């Protein structure tokens, strides 16, 4: 069974990127063409472990909202 520390990785770079672009979770959700929620964005920023599928959805939405081309390594440290 996983311990709490194995699932929590602390604040992730996505939180800083969103702040730099003055984006909120709702901006990311509305930019997405895929099924994502505010809760997924919140978990991504706080460093909760996300499935690879959810990570890609968050990445795609962030790239669309910012007009940039970030990679998973740019927004997650795990």
Residue 30 lies in a domain: yes
pLDDT bracket for residue 7 (50, 70, 90): confident
**Helices (H), ranges, 1-37:** 4-7, 13-20, 25-31
Residue 45's pLDDT is 97
Q: What is the pLDDT of residues 29-70, one digit of tens each?
A: 999 999 999 999 999 999 999 999 999 999 999 999 999 999
Residue 38's pLDDT is 97
Q: State pTM to two decimals.
A: 0.89
Residue 51 lies in a domain: yes
Q: Domain range holding 64?
A: 4-68
Residue 77 lies in a domain: no
Residue 33's pLDDT is 95
What is the number of other CB atoms lying within 10 angstroms of the CB of residue 67?
8
Residue 8's pLDDT is 87
Residue 36 lies in a domain: yes
Q: Which residues contact 43 (CB under 8 A, 6 or more apart)?
A: 50
Q: How many domains does the chain have?
A: 1
Residue 27 lies in a domain: yes
């Amino acid at each position: 069974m996983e311990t709490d520390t194995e699932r929590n990785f602390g604040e992730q770079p996505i939180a800083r990127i969103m702040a730099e672009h003055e984006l909120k979770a709702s901006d990311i959700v509305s930019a997405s063409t895929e099924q994502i929620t505010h809760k997924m964005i919140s978990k991504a920023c706080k460093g909760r472990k996300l499935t690879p599928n959810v990570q890609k959805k968050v990445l795609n939405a962030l790239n669309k909202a910012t007009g940039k081309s970030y990679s998973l390594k740019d927004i997650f440290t795990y």
